[in-house]
Amino acid sequence: MHRICVSIARESVDDVLAVADHISPLADVIEIRLDRLKTIAVAPFITRLTKPLLLTNRPTWEGGFFSGDEKLRMAPLLEAVQLGVAYVDLELKAPAASHENLLAMVEKSASQLILSWHNFQETPTKAELVGRLAMIQDKGAHIAKIVTMAHDHHDVLRVLNLQEEAAKMDMPLIAFCMGRPGIISRLATMELGGYMTYCAAHEAEATAPGQLAVTVLRQLETLLAEGQEPSR
Active site residues per annotation? 118, 145
- Please state, in angstroms and rounded to a whole number, the distance separating the CA atoms of residues 107 and 39: 28
Task: Judge contact between 137 and 169, C-beta under 8 A.
Answer: yes
- What residues contact residue 50 under an 8 Å CB cut-off, 6+ apart? 24
Strand (E) positions, the chain?
Answer: 4-8, 29-33, 53-56, 87-91, 112-119, 143-149, 173-178, 197-200
Instruction: Give the three-state DSSP class for 213.
Output: strand
In this structure, the chain runs to a length of 232
- Please state, in angstroms and rounded to a whole number, the distance separating the CA atoms of residues 173 and 193: 8
